[in-house]
Amino acid sequence: MPCFLMAKLNLNRARFAGKTVIVTGSSSGIGREIALCFAKEGANIVVHGQNDDKLKEVSKAMKELEIPEKNYLLIKGAIQDDATQERIINETLKQFGRINTLVNNAGISQKSAADPNSIESLDAIYEINLRAVYNLTSKVVPHLLKTKGNVVNISSAGSQRGTDSFIPYAMLKAALDHYTRDLALKYAKEGVRVNAVNPGVVETNFIGRHGIPTEVIDQMRTVWAKKTIPMQRVAQPVEVANLVRFLASDEASYITGTTMAVDGGIWAGIPSEL
């Protein structure tokens, strides 16, 4: 059930009350759902995106959830830019005074409508999906050390399976998985946890916004899903958000260095009957 509806049913347990969560790329898709899920459980939320209209839509959703304006912050900018990263950190600390969780969600699958396997796509994906994550996380970690906080990286089920269609995307997500493990080892003794969530195909416009034809996306959601996903459907954003929220919570206090799939069974393999 989407977090919007859960809040309307008064299921808010406020387990994140007083905690501050930064979610990059949270003006739409999975990131938006993650931000709303944390907000409805009492967290102070930093929403980041590049589109004014989408940021306004998130603000509207927050108001519909009856989230006080003082509990969320909207920041616009390209995540790969140092200036954007500095604003995210500085404005977060100014308004909320602390950082408890960083969710590195912002990402692309290719450069606009370019060939997803081109060097142009490789460079663009590297800048946003890996370098920006490394850079921002390095800047946030000193603040997480103070709160014994955590990092959740949004990776992909594609990081563990070979592909011939989105090679740069898959290999850089594999690098993100490795970075997750490395960082977890580095800070485990200091009480900072680092994990990754690896979604399969999710019901968002993530691929569509990069120029993939609508009919191809529709096939992925129906025919392709039934042939390749054991559960025979794509995921809903809230199904990813629920795992992110769990990994950031005290309930996951002994979990670090993991990569957890939300993929309908893709990592397990393809059943023979499919």
C-alpha of 218 from chain center: 23
Q: What are the b/e assignments for 168-194, b being 16+ CB within 10 Å? A: bbbbbbbbbbebbbebbeebeeeebbb
How far is the C-alpha of 102 from the C-alpha of 150, rounded, in Å? 7
Paired with 194 in beta bridges are: 151
Exactly one of 72, 169, 179, 187 is catalytic; which is it? 169
DSSP 132: H
Active site residue 187: no
How far is the C-alpha of 2 from the C-alpha of 238, rounded, in Å? 6
How far is the C-alpha of 64 from the C-alpha of 58, rounded, in Å? 10
Q: What are the b/e assignments for 103-122, b being 16+ CB within 10 Å? A: bbbbbbbbbeeeebbeeebb
List Cα–Cα distances, 30 to 44, 68, 94, 103, 141, in angstroms: 18, 22, 26, 11, 23
Residues carrying an active site annotation: 169
